[in-house]
Structure 1
């Protein structure tokens, strides 16, 4: 599983990035890029489902701070990072498409106009692609995820907290809050993890981490020995999010706390 994730992040993403950085693209190249991005998105969705199944197997053993759970947390972080890379590539593709759009016929240049740089004259001059500076929002999130992947949970926690403080309206804010909970969970600070997962539920009730936050909140209560609270939360996942992979996991975990 980890090998495939690395292959996706290394081969497919690197290939797309290389094409995007080559400068102007032809219509055929643009079409190929679109197909590649779509294919990568499909692979991410498939990988997401596989990670959920692995998670069910790992947590189904009832292990504590075992290597399986640590590896799974790292896999989830890799998956999140890969999704961000897909989004970034889509943005770069849109920029390339705009840059490659037909250029209006030039009008007569005023006498004081600055001459074109040597080697790029008239209609033969290609469109110059200027790579914009990295978005500080995405950069902070990526650095925090990287720290999490390395097992540096304290620095990851610091980074995700900064992210939530600086970018509370970001589409990634609920994800950052969720990863704050995961940092605490991985350190065995289950009360703090429960509070962070609750922040996800309270502040971003329509976000994409709601079902997962409920599930992991239940897992944290179970680690604390409160099977009643864990059972209630697992049942809530099943009732409120019946079509999600988390609901399938909750059904299995529910058997442990009945």
Structure 2
């Protein structure tokens, strides 16, 4: 009888404890599940925000790359315009020189006047051999390689061949100058320095001398030879004061 009473008391108590434990376990599991869902939601939001930031950064990079490409295009366009102006001016001066050479010998002052306008310092200029039709044709073909085709390697090769084939002519000096210009564009600065130096030292009375001395200064500046570059710019201003190169050299010295 006593055992039955004890069983009647113990069994309900045991079931009650088991129910409490089951309820606690269920509550803990629900809380853990809720926390895990919250963490996943937070992680998903952070990932979405990070993805959005990456997209923004990628868009900004594309925008900056577009601006860089536009600026590069503009710089290249200005460089090409500058080279084209030089070639046009070179062609006009060549035409004028040929017309002067065709004038009667009784008007020597005309040639000296043109030389004085181009150089500014020279009072007597060397007589350069004028080109024949074939020489002029080859020179114009080289100009086309530089100006229109932008085939600088082939232009360099043909410039050397032109200099070897037609030494000490009026266009030979031009060829040395354009050799320096093409090397400067590539850029192969040591070779450009050599070409401009030949014009500046061997042909100081030629119409291309002021431009060659100025471009020699620019080349030296890019090579880091600042003091020698300044000296060359001062030479342009002093020896060729009426040339356009003197104006450019003066701006360089002023900066």
TM-score band w.r.t. shorter chain:
0.5 to 0.7
Per the alignment, do residues 180 and 80 of structure 1 end up closer, same or farther by CA in structure 2, a change over 3 Å counting? same
Matches within 5 A, 1:131-150: 135-150=133-148
SS at match of 2:207: coil
Within 2, Cα distance between the matches of 1:215 and 1:246?
6
TM-fit CA distance, 1:89: 8.2
Within 2, Cα distance between the matches of 1:220 and 1:91?
33
2:175 corresponding residue in structure 1: 176
Q: Say yes or no: does 1:246 pair with 2:245.
A: yes
TM-fit CA distance, 1:254: 1.1
Within 1, Cα distance between the matches of 2:173 and 2:94?
14
1:78-111 superposed Cα distances (whole Å, 9 cap, x missing partner): 332344456678999x9xxxxxxxxxxxxxxxxx
Per the alignment, do residues 87 and 214 of structure 1 end up closer, same or farther by CA in structure 2, a change over 3 Å counting? closer
Structure (1/2) with the larger helix percentage = 2
TM-fit CA distance, 1:135: 2.0
Q: Normalising to structure 1: TM-score of the pair?
A: 0.53
Matches within 5 A, 1:123-162: 135-150=133-148, 151-162=150-161
Q: Normalising to structure 2: TM-score of the pair?
A: 0.54
Within 1, Cα distance between the matches of 2:95 and 2:243?
24
Q: Say yes or no: does 1:81 pair with 2:124.
A: no
Unmatched tracts of structure 2, length 5 or more? 1-74, 105-131
Within 2, Cα distance between the matches of 1:255 and 1:89?
38
Conserved 8 A contact 1:81-1:145:
no
Within 1, Cα distance between the matches of 2:234 and 2:101?
39
Matches within 5 A, 1:219-258: 219-256=218-255
Tell me the matched-pair count.
Answer: 154
TM-fit CA distance, 1:255: 2.4
Within 2, Cα distance between the matches of 1:251 and 1:234?
7
Structure 1 range deviating more: 213-222 or 147-156: 147-156
Q: Say yes or no: does 1:204 pair with 2:203.
A: yes
SS at match of 2:187: coil
Within 2, Cα distance between the matches of 1:209 and 1:236?
14
Root-mean-square deviation (CA, aligned residues, Å) is 2.7
Unmatched tracts of structure 1, length 5 or more? 1-64, 95-133
